Amino acid sequence: MENTVKINKNVSIVAYYFKNAGRRLKGFPKLMEYEGRRVIFTETGLRHLVRKGQKLVHVFDMTDGSADYRLEFDTESLDWRLIYMADMNYGEPVATT
Amino acid sequence: MASLSLPLSAAEPEIMHIDLNSCFATVEQQARPLLRGWPVAITNRLSKNATVIAASYEAKTYGIKVGMRLSDARLLAPGLVAAETDPPKYNHVYQQLVRIMKSYSPATTMKSIDEGIIDFGDTREFVNPRPLVEIGHEIKQRLRDDVGPWMSCNIGIAPNRFLAKTAASLHKPDGLDVIDHKNLRQVFDSLKLTDLTGIAERNQARLNTGGIFTPLQFLDAPAQLLRHQVFKSVCGEDWYKRLRGWEVDNYETTTRMVGRQYVLEQRSLTEDMIRSRLSYLCETIGLKLRYKGFCARGVSVYVRYETGDYWYERQAFKTSFFTNTDIYRNTLLLFNRRPRDAYETEIGVSCYLLEPSTRSQVSLLEEVNRELWLTEVVDTINERFGDFTVTFAASAPSKSIVKQKIPFGSTKYFELLCQQS
């Protein structure tokens, strides 16, 4: 079963990558430092915006291949926050037809 | 009166219906790559009695269907991953889809969060001279490029909205089909009556009593039979035209009611707790009313009991209202009249008799103006710092319990809903 751990702590994003997503060049986190660990993201799931009042927050759903991470970038304070991690302990994937 | 008789519409198929596949589940799998390949069910709450509102294609292979209880779904697929709805994520995908669709034609209508229609009728000659099948494949590719590689959609192209939706449901997932007068009979031959949008068990039974058992028989049925014997209304003629490819569904709906329901989280809530939930619902309704620029004159309240019975009462008032206080006051007036013989399981409030808001009209009565200004100030604060920052004291305990959920069908309040999430 899925193992989701809520963290909700500030983290450091020390490397970014950029790609043409949709109409414009967009930046994505590549390397995160959290509690002495370094996590290299291998894929971006989705990047979307959330308004909290008038504050704009960029939400990134990322994966490093062994766990999914949700990161939020606060455009006011310019802080990165790790919201949760979800590692996968599901068993075998389903064969799709 | 002469009976209606029409041939199959030979018009060019210029209506494109786009339907995201298992939208919420696919978006979750797009957002979280490790979920891809696993059966995923999306629910509004992560409780065992929650209803599955979207299932991934992997989950569907286990027989999991929309509307099923999560506990039942888990029995069918023990490794099922349940995820709670995340409206901002779906809003992002919705906005991307709208942007892609509008880049082809301004005649774009979103039918719900995950499906929309492009009418290419007026733009074929100068803007979109390419074959629509080619445009359809391009839209699929753009969706994958702009949102993510896991996203897919069904596309149907036909002369009217009904047939376009039917075409979009022929080959799931990721299909693209065209229905026109040449292949209409062939397509109908491969379908059941209940495969047609709008024909569920009751309409099927009606058709059966008229001697109609297949879509082809439905297509061949005379308009008179459908109008006078099967549907016994003008709907029969609409079906006659619809099946033949003539457009009858190109109309705009108007908002006549604004409401909210809530299934109480547990039995035996105290009166204060129920009133707190009710007050929260009233605030949400007030927010929706003001968002759409309406005021209301009527309130209806309903309560469902654990015995399965339900109580319902409505009342029209002399003056219109739109402030949270007025809505709550009028609601309580009715709510206090409810029978209290059994535990309540669900409560609901709706405002009706909607009319354009009169909030810009300054009243002669000072206390009315004060309430109006207070509402405006509270709305401004909530807009700045997030909804329900300033709220009724009675609503405060419910703020973290009653969550705004994804509505089926309409996208009228989707922006508002995403602000609240």
Burial of A64 (0-12, 13-18, 19+ CB in 10 A): middle
Give B-chain residues touching A54 at CB under 8 angstroms. Answer: 383-385
> By CA distance, what is A84's nearest residue in B?
B32
| Mean pLDDT confidence for B67-85 | 88
The structure tokens listed for B155 are 């596309």
| pLDDT beyond 70 at B292 | yes
pLDDT in tens, B339-378: 988 889 899 999 999 998 877 777 788 888 888 889 889 9
pLDDT in tens, B120-169: 988 888 888 899 999 999 999 999 988 889 999 999 999 999 999 999 99
CATH number at B332 reads: 3.30.1490.100
Last-in-domain residue among B252, B273, B302: B252
> By CA distance, what is B39's nearest residue in A?
A94
Determine contact: B35 vs chain A, CB below 8 A: yes
Last-in-domain residue among B163, B182, B201: B182
Type of residue found at B401? I
Are B148 and A45 inside 8 Å of each other by CB?
A: yes
> By CA distance, what is B57's nearest residue in A?
A96
B142 shares its domain with B53: yes
The alpha carbon of residue B190 is apart from the nearest alpha carbon of chain A, in Å, by 21
Q: Terminus-to-terminus CA distance in chain B, angstroms? A: 55
E strands, B282-404, are 294-305, 310-321, 344-356
Confidence class for position A2, pLDDT limits 50, 70, 90: low
Residue B163 resides in a domain: yes
Determine contact: B74 vs chain A, CB below 8 A: no
B214 shares its domain with B333: no
Give A-chain residues touching B32 at CB under 8 angstroms. Answer: 45, 61, 63, 68, 86
B348 shares its domain with B237: no
- Supply the pLDDT for residue A96: 44
In whole angstroms, give the CA distance from residue B386 to residue B368.
Answer: 26
Confidence class for position B418, pLDDT limits 50, 70, 90: low
| pLDDT beyond 60 at B408 | no
pLDDT in tens, B19-28: 998 889 999 9
- Supply the pLDDT for residue A12: 93
CA dist list (Å): B85 to A65, B43, B55, B404, B421: 23, 6, 12, 10, 10
Determine contact: B174 vs chain A, CB below 8 A: no
> By CA distance, what is A62's nearest residue in B?
B32
In whole angstroms, give the CA distance from residue B270 to residue B391.
Answer: 21
DSSP assignment of B128-183 equals --S-HHHHHHHHHHHHHHHT-TT--EEEEEESSHHHHHHHHTSSTTT-EEE--TTT
| pLDDT beyond 70 at A35 | yes
What is the rounded average pLDDT for all residues in chain B?
Answer: 88
Length of chain A: 97
Residue B235 resides in a domain: yes
- Supply the pLDDT for residue B5: 82
Confidence class for position A93, pLDDT limits 50, 70, 90: very low
Residue B187 resides in a domain: no
Out of A22, A45, A94, whose CB is closest to B37?
A94
In whole angstroms, give the CA distance from residue B284 to residue B384.
Answer: 17
Confidence class for position B255, pLDDT limits 50, 70, 90: confident
- Supply the pLDDT for residue B88: 85
Residue numbers of B between 263 and 322 with CB closer than 8 Å to A:
none
Last-in-domain residue among B206, B235, B252: B252
- Supply the pLDDT for residue B202: 92
A35-44 burial, b for 16+ CB within 10 Å, e for fewer? eeeebebeeb
Question: Could you identify the residue written with the tokens 């949400």?
Answer: B284
Question: Could you identify the residue written with the tokens 């109480």?
Answer: B264
In whole angstroms, give the CA distance from residue A87 to residue B381.
Answer: 39
- Supply the pLDDT for residue A81: 94
Give φ, ψ of B194 to 5 degrees: -75, -5
| pLDDT beyond 90 at A50 | no
Range of the domain at B333: 257-420
Residue B83 resides in a domain: yes
B332 shares its domain with B371: yes
Q: Give pTM, 2 decimals.
A: 0.82
Most confident of the ranges A19-23, A77-81, B399-403: A77-81
Nearest to B215 by CA among B203, B227, B232: B203
**Beta-sheet pairing, B40-43 with B81-84:** parallel
Out of A45, A54, A97, whose CB is closest to B384?
A54
Percentage helix, strand, coil for chain A under 3-state DSSP, each rounded to 5: 0, 70, 30
Between A and B, how many CB-CB pairs are < 8 A?
Answer: 79
B245 shares its domain with B285: no
Give φ, ψ of B30 to 5 degrees: -65, -45
Are B385 and A53 inside 8 Å of each other by CB?
A: yes
B34 shares its domain with B174: yes
CATH number at B120 reads: 3.30.70.270
- Supply the pLDDT for residue B414: 59
Determine contact: B131 vs chain A, CB below 8 A: no
- Supply the pLDDT for residue B403: 72
pLDDT in tens, B10-46: 888 999 999 998 889 999 999 998 888 889 999 887 7
Give A-chain residues touching B172 at CB under 8 angstroms. Answer: none
The structure tokens listed for B267 are 């039995």
**Do residues A87 and A67 make contact, with C-beta atoms less than 8 angstroms apart?**
yes
In whole angstroms, give the CA distance from residue B61 to residue B303.
Answer: 38
pLDDT in tens, B172-211: 888 999 999 999 999 999 999 999 999 999 999 999 998 9
B282 shares its domain with B221: no
Question: pLDDT over 70 for what percent of chain B?
Answer: 95
**Do residues A36 and A45 make contact, with C-beta atoms less than 8 angstroms apart?**
no
The neighbouring-strand residues paired with B261 are B348
| Mean pLDDT confidence for B1-10 | 77
B218 shares its domain with B294: no
Are A51 and B418 inside 8 Å of each other by CB?
A: yes
B285 shares its domain with B301: yes
The alpha carbon of residue A37 is apart from the nearest alpha carbon of chain B, in Å, by 21
| pLDDT beyond 90 at B308 | no
Out of B35, B62, B79, whose CB is closest to A91?
B79
Give every strand in the sheet of B294-305, ordered side by side: B257-263, B344-356, B294-305, B310-321
CA dist list (Å): A68 to A6, A49, B218, B306: 12, 18, 50, 41
Give φ, ψ of B410 to 5 degrees: -65, 150
B202 shares its domain with B270: no
What is the rounded average pLDDT for all residues in chain A?
Answer: 84
**Do residues B83 and B414 make contact, with C-beta atoms less than 8 angstroms apart?**
no
B15 shares its domain with B31: yes
Residue B188 resides in a domain: no
Determine contact: B149 vs chain A, CB below 8 A: no
- Supply the pLDDT for residue B85: 86
- Supply the pLDDT for residue A92: 45
B226 shares its domain with B318: no
Q: Which residues 6+ apart lie within 8 Å of B109 measured at CB?
A: B116, B117, B119
In whole angstroms, give the CA distance from residue B335 to residue B327.
Answer: 12
Counting the structural domains of chain B, the total is 3
ipTM score of complex: 0.86
| Mean pLDDT confidence for B326-332 | 94
Are A96 and B385 inside 8 Å of each other by CB?
A: no
Determine contact: B250 vs chain A, CB below 8 A: no
Question: Could you identify the residue written with the tokens 């989707």?
Answer: B414
